[in-house]
Structure 1
Amino acid sequence: MTPAHAADPALVDAIADRAHAVRQRIAEAADRAGRDPADVTLVAVTKTRPIETVRAAVAAGLRDLGENRVGELVDKSDALPGEGDGGDVRWHLIGSLQRNKARDAAARADLFHALDSVRLARALDKWAAEAGRVLPVLVQVNISGEDAKHGVEPDATADLLGVAAECAHLRPVGLMGMAAIAEDPGDLDRVVRPAFQKLRRLFDAEPGLTVLSMGMSGDFEVAVEEGATHVRVGTALFGPR
């Protein structure tokens, strides 16, 4: 019988096998781009997954964990504290955030990927100050041009980075973006790659940035080829929801 709070060995093995395969694909993409695969952080997207799966992911060697919703982040970081709370995992809040949830986000996230407005920056700064911490943030840019996607317009990127830099309890460290979903393999070059190239140009234009978060299960290899430092992968690690 598996002890309480211990990870299921079979689940650990399954996730470890998938993680190995994903890392191999990252390494191959990095090699094609002349990059060091060690420069790419694999963020395991654990949204909607039970805490048992998260424990198994950690036991399988995954240390960067991504959540979309603040409530899930709070519950899971209660069980597995992040670096900011003295733990040995890093919690990435990767989903869009309403200002009324900014307090928990500022207190719990080790990196917030989805800063998309001045008002949200002010709210996060306020609550990070209350929590006695400096919150690293990424400005989310709408690189797909889709109305349904969150993020600032590309030409507003520098302005929002500037606002975040003026906030004493925020530390802007990079950019995040999502490409349109590739409907067929040809879309990876026709649609996805140009979007990632756009984000990379914006990233390169801002000195001092270190994190370029782009790429998910369906397109992370293209993202790595185009310079991603962080890829956000869920389905390829944990299977379909």
Structure 2
Amino acid sequence: MTENVIAENIAAIKKDIPENVTLVGVTKHRSVEETQAVVDAGVYDLGENKVQEFLAKVDEVKGPVRWHFIGHLQRNKVKYLMGKVSLIHSVHSVPLLKTIEKESAKHGVKTNVLIQFNLAKEDSKSGFMAEEYEMVMKEVGNCPHLEVQGLMCIGPMTKKSDEIHKVFKHLKELYDTIEKEYHGENIKMQYLSMGMTDDYPIAIEEGATIVRIGRKIFNR
């Protein structure tokens, strides 16, 4: 994988993405050298899925990087992210929420998070159900060391564009509801993270402000 291929792919992707949408380059399973090439091509928001992989790269990749944790996060790994990531996208349960609060307090930091919803209702995906949003926001009120900056979801496993539109549209509606009803001390909605390599154009149509793209950056 040459730096030129990565740079060319990123340039092509950026043409598809409006200026108000942040491209998070997903660098899971990629080497430090490949990850550095992404940064050198002008993508400073990097997404990692595994804590161990993130820790192996965080001090090696140079540049004004903003690290995003986008994978399934185990509670016993939370402490390793404290003070090192700009945004945790995948807060999928109340116990995880409470663990991040506890570890943030212990480390003396405020942690920015997105609440993950499973609007496709697929067993293979983590996240809250739409009807749980009020309960989640009340729990957030007890977490002064967190700042909820928006919502995240993973699109449904289908090629039917109408079903993908439906899920992303639903997340945007949920985002708007939460922003209207709960905006306050530690709920400051600004990010809607949805859309990956196969469905990011649909996500952008439905209001995404962050898209998470990996494969399309690295494919020849």
Q: TM-score with structure 1 length normalisation?
A: 0.84
The residue aligned with 1:43 is 24
- Is 1:92–1:110's contact at 8 Å kept on the other side of the alignment? yes
Determine if the alignment matches structure 1 residue 116 to structure 2 residue 116. no
CA contact (8 A) 1:73 1:108 kept: no
SS in 1 for 2:59: helix
Distance in 1 (CA, whole Å) between partners of 2:90 and 2:156 is: 17
1:176 paired to 2:152: yes
Q: Per-residue deviation at 1:161? A: 2.9
2:164 and 2:130 map into 1 onto residues whose CA distance is: 16
Counterpart among 200, 206, 218 of residue 220 in structure 1: 200
1:185-200 equivalence runs, <5 A = 187-189=160-162, 191-200=163-172
Q: Does 1:211 align with 2:183?
A: no
Structure 1 segment 31-110 matched on structure 2, within 5 A: 37-80=18-61, 88-110=64-86
- Normalized per residue, which structure has more helix? 1
Give the equivalent residue in structure 1 for 2:135. Answer: 159
Matched residue of 1:65: which SS? strand
Asked if 1:21 corresponds to 2:12, the answer is: yes
Report the equivalent of 1:147: 123
Please name the residue that 2:186 is paired with: none
Tell me the secondary structure at the aligned position of residue 123 of structure 1.
Answer: helix
The TM-score, its normalising length taken from structure 2, stands at 0.91
Q: Which letter maps to 1:188? A: S
- Matched letter for residue 45 of structure 2: D
* Ranges in structure 2 where 5+ consecutive residues have no aligned partner: 184-188
Q: Residue 82 of structure 2: SS of its match in structure 1?
A: helix
C-alpha contact (below 8 Å) 1:64/1:91 kept by paired residues: yes
Q: Match of 1:114, as an amino acid?
A: S
Deviation at 1:80, TM superposition (A): 3.0
* TM-fit CA distance, 1:123: 0.8
Instruction: Report percent identity of matched pairs.
Output: 39
Q: Which position in structure 2 is the counterpart of 1:12?
A: 3
Offset at 1:229? Answer: 0.4
Equivalent-residue separation in structure 1 for 2:200 and 2:134 (angstroms)? 25
* Equivalent-residue separation in structure 1 for 2:154 and 2:25 (angstroms): 16
Deviation of 1:182 after TM superposition, in Å, equals 2.8
**2: distance between equivalents of 1:238 and 1:165?**
40
Find the residue that maps to 1:212 and give its secondary structure: strand
Tell me which residue corresponds to 1:34.
none
1:13 deviation in Å?
A: 2.1
Task: Please provide the CA RMSD for this pair.
Answer: 1.6
User: What letter corresponds to residue 13 of structure 2 in structure 1?
Assistant: V
Residue pair 1:165, 1:172 contacting (<8 A) in 2 also? no
